[in-house]
Amino acid sequence: MLFKSFDEAFAFYQRYALAAGFSARKNTSWKNVGGLVKIRYIVCSKEGFHVPKAIDSGSVENSKKIVRRNRGSKRVGCNAHVKLILEDNNMFKLYFFEQEHNHIFVEDEDIHFLPAARSIDYVKESFISGLSAINIGPVKAFNIMKTMYGGFGEVGASKVDCKNYRRDLNLYIGEYDAEMVVRRLIRKKECCPGFTCDYVIGEDRRLKGLFWADEQSKKNYTVFGDIFGFDATYKSNKYDLVFVPFTGIDNHYRNVTFGGALLGSETADSYRWLLRCFVNAFGSEPKVVVTDQDAAMKRAIKDVLSRSRHRLCMWHIWEKLKTKVGPVLSANTDFNTRMTHVVWNDTISPEDFETEWHSIMSTFGLENHEWLKDMYDLRFDWIPAYYHGEDLAGLMRTTSRCESENYFFGQICNPRCTLVEFFTHFETAMDIQRHEHRRNDHDTRYIESKPWSDFVLEKQASEIYTKTIFKDIQIEIDAAITKCMSKSLDIVGDVQYFEIKDFRQPCTSFLKVQYSKQEDGLTISCSCKRFEQFGILCRHIFYVLRYDDINEFPRRYVHRRWMRDVVSVGSNHSNIRFDEIGRNSEIDKVYREIVVANEYVVNRLVGDIDELCRYRDHIKSYIDKADEVMVAAPPPSRKERFAEIGGNIEKSDSIIRVPIKTRTKGCGVQKRIKSNREIAIQKSSKIQKSCRVCGEKGHNSRTCKDKVSSNAIGSSNAM
């Protein structure tokens, strides 16, 4: 037989070996004087014998520490092989064939255990990488493939092969992790003009900070960027870099992410750099920023976002209240009721708040309480009564949005993942979030809400607002009809003053509505300030509009952020994904088209077994052709495939190095040092197993001194 190349010959013999029930491997070659390979050998994998490595113990004491496992050997000295010689026409000729083996062959159902029958090919790599993007590891990926293919023997790989693939990929990434991420983000910036990224490195060229935001995030910010919160998320990557997402509220009252960052430290300088990157990317500052009581964040916001109102998380302060005032007072129902009414009330005025606050302090003897005095001094930064003048400031009073966002990312991120994996996880999370937004848009457009009344403004509101916001407006309109009543009406010039009794409000006071009609439209406001705080008209205003027979929804009081299709979420075909950079996207596209086409044909023919079999035979007829193509153009090596996935990195002094782990604020409290007595008590409470050799506890048969000494005596007697 003649072969065009040695690889073609090896592939042919390997197929023969697997069909027979054994595995083959390449052996030594012979070269001529000019260094050209003339003779090649392909042998059975059981050729030769295992040669144990000699151990230089040095002394008997050191030899006791060296313990080797008694592993078996696959080598049995099998002489089955073929010899190939290179002819003058540059073709390999098979001139000798030894067929006999000195061992049994593998059963047909066990062929998949042979190394030659196992490999992580392109399809399996894509499958494992795809599942890794949603935080599914290689072991679970293998179990899924086993179910898909119909058994362990049909996968063509083992669980260990899948684990080794991920291990080898991470080893290839290794110290170039940060460099790969920065390069791919810069490449994405070149391919997508709307994408923004920035990074900072230290004097040792280690990554200290990384910020990014895509074009869709910027579109969202132009509409929903009036208020946002940000908080630090921990344990999202193997380097303990702090993940900081910027979270807002979309027109469906759901979370929307404006961008993200990774920081090596939580200092004021780090947050200043981050906020400057944010302002440069989005071009404007928000009206209100919500954070917890982190001092570094507070200083950075004061220096960079000077035109933004900084609001502290009310929930964090409220939770501290229970511990600061003590268990007796925190369990007092009267104290909790009065504090809840004065702190969480959106309708109370600043004057009423201060009066009631001092009354509570006096009643319960808290006038000299240091922490409460500090919180009172900070009342402008967290009490809702002082945010009536800020538009939409009532949308976000706590960092609960950030907490839910952190939990959302935590379901996808992995605390042991590399930075390359982290960005794949991040983009998967963004795909999920934006898919939910599009689903909500779809429901708003194609699901018609049922009216609760014959009020004409309700029908118009259903055509203006999203489905979620319209439900709140329906509640307000229903309350205006059933729970509100006007006490008096005063007219001063063109302005009408209404006093509205709201039977759902716990207070007995009346709400005041000021209403006037002008040539350019009507003007209306309410003392409850619901529109100013949430951007939605209150029931008291709807009562007046219904009273005056207004039949057209006042567009002046429609906030753009709550309207339908305020942001067109495109298909983002121009915005390539992070995990597509560095790979052959054309091959991935063709591969996905083949999978979809195959699935379509099977679904159409599943009811006709004869036609389905003909389709199967048609697919199988291409197997021989595929083998010929593979021999003519052998597949790339694993290192070459890793270079396509992660990027080909060459060693250089200018490479950005991976960060060193630092202790962050959210890493928890260090474990205290235990005394020897406490350690001894804990050990005595544990059930210890006995050694099988000597019967004593505290060690096992592998490390037993009696076994080591007996082996040493036996070896000396043998000598």
180-230 pLDDT tens trace: 899 889 988 988 888 999 999 988 889 999 999 999 999 999 999 999 999
Asked if pLDDT for residue 83 goes beyond 80, the answer is: yes
pLDDT for residue 55: 58
**CA gap 477, 538 in Å, rounded:** 8
| Residues pairing with 545 in the sheet | none
The whole-model pTM stands at 0.82
Q: Which of 33-37, 159-163, 289-293 shows the lowest mean pLDDT across its residues?
A: 33-37
Half-sphere exposure of 33 (CA within 13 A, CB side): 0
Q: Which of 42-56, 260-274, 439-453, 523-537 shows the lowest mean pLDDT across its residues?
A: 42-56
What is the rounded average pLDDT of the residues 121-150? 90
Strands 255-263 and 242-249: antiparallel
pLDDT for residue 671: 61
What is the rounded average pLDDT of the residues 410-418? 86
pLDDT for residue 44: 94
Asked if pLDDT for residue 571 goes beyond 50, the answer is: no
Name 182's Cβ contacts closer than 8 Å, sequence gap at least 6.
199, 207, 210, 656
**CA gap 74, 462 in Å, rounded:** 75
Listed residue (297, 186, 684) closest to 289, CA to CA: 297
| Sequence-ordered strand ranges (E) for 519-633 | 521-526
Q: Spell out a b/e string for 185-216, using b for 16 or more CB atoms within 10 Å of the CB, else e.
A: bebbbeeeeebbbbbbbeeeeebbbbbbbbbb
Q: Which of 151-155, 174-178, 571-575, 686-690 shows the lowest mean pLDDT across its residues?
A: 571-575
